[in-house]
Every structure is written in C-alpha cells, then in structure tokens.
Chain A
C-alpha cells in the first residue's frame, strides 16, 4: 500500500488560506498523477484537481479560482493552497495517487476546520 502522509494546520480562520502538504514515497513522484480530494458531510467526496510531474495540471472548475496545487519533486512533496476559506471548506483532506483517472492510493487524511 502506498504511504502518503498529509500534514498542515487543523484549524484555519475564515478568509485565510488553507495550506497542506503531502509527502510522497521517493521515486514514485514521476510515475503518477497526484490529486487532492476532500470529504465533508455536506458535499461528500470532492476532487480538487491533479498534477503530473511534467507540470500538467487539471483543476476542478468549481474550485479553480481559489486553488493552487504544486509539486516539489526535490522534497517529494505535493502541496495544496485553498484561498479565502469559509466554514464550507471544513472537511477531511486527502492526497491521492492517480492512475488514468482513478485513485489507487490515498493518504490517511487530515481534518481541517475553518473557524474563528
């Protein structure tokens, strides 16, 4: 099972930027698409977008205006920045390894709460 590990603050204030990182196993980063997905009771599972190591990025249009996904291959890290958060962004956030569009490996997830 692929070992992905999300990290970041568990509490973010409204209107601020949520920033998360995901550590990817060394050597794997050049072989897959890397995605961020979140899960909340209200919206279920929601895909943010994916990034390939070549720099190709595909964002979910519904989130595109607020999201940046990036990859630091030297650190084996995937990052997510979500701007102007509100309570509706409270969710468990997962990084996931993608193959042809489905997700063959997931991190354990990290709960992020948006609250003042």
Chain B
C-alpha cells in the first residue's frame, strides 16, 4: 500500500497569501495518478485536481497542481476566504487507493 504524507499539518496564512501544500508518496504513483480534494466542516471532500495538474470542472484557476513520481504540490495562488479548509491528496496509481492525512489551511 502506498502511504501519502502531507506537510505541513497546518498552514496559518492570511487572505491573499499564497499557500503551498506538499504530498509525498512512499513509492512512485506514476506521473499523473494524483488527485487533490478540499473538505470543509460537515461536507464531503470536493475534487480540485486530478492527473496531478488538471483542474476539475468549476475549480478556479488560483488552484494549481504539480509534481510527478513521489512528490506533488498543490498551490493556491491567493487565498480567498472560502479556501480555508482541509486539503487531501489521493493516489490512484496503485490499489488500494489511498489518501494523505490532510493539511489544514487556517486563517492567521
């Protein structure tokens, strides 16, 4: 099973700042088999990015993904108030599908 480790655990930033979230895999997930999700309290996760860098339908372009192999990054170019949430990465290069433990982006 591939273990995904996200860092940092919590990111304290102000609106307008840039957020950089990391996801590291215990072994290669391939070049593109990585997704990112956003979750707000009381809600289900929402797909943001698939294929490491493709935005899902309706996702603003301030969200971008990059990386390949074992190291991936989610960048939020300028935080909006609605972006403060928990973010998860998920790999689908191998079975079972696995998720990272999450990074909480909180208001500083």
Contact = CB atoms under 8 A, between A and B. Distances in A.
B44 A108 contact: yes
Interface in A37-51: 44-47, 49
B13 to A, nearest CB: 23
Nearest to A35: B97
A104 B45 CA distance: 10
Interface in A97-111: 99-109
Interface residues of A, number: 22
A45 B99 contact: yes
Nearest to B88: A45
B96 A61 contact: yes
Nearest to B35: A102
B92 A44 contact: no
A54 interface: no
B56 interface: yes
B90 A102 contact: yes
Contacts of A60: 95-97
A99 B57 CA distance: 13
Contacts of B45: 45, 103, 106
Contacts of A106: 44-46
B50 interface: yes
15 contacts: A44-B101, A45-B88, A45-B99, A46-B99, A47-B96, A47-B98, A49-B96, A60-B97, A99-B50, A100-B50, A101-B92, A102-B50, A103-B35, A104-B47, A108-B44
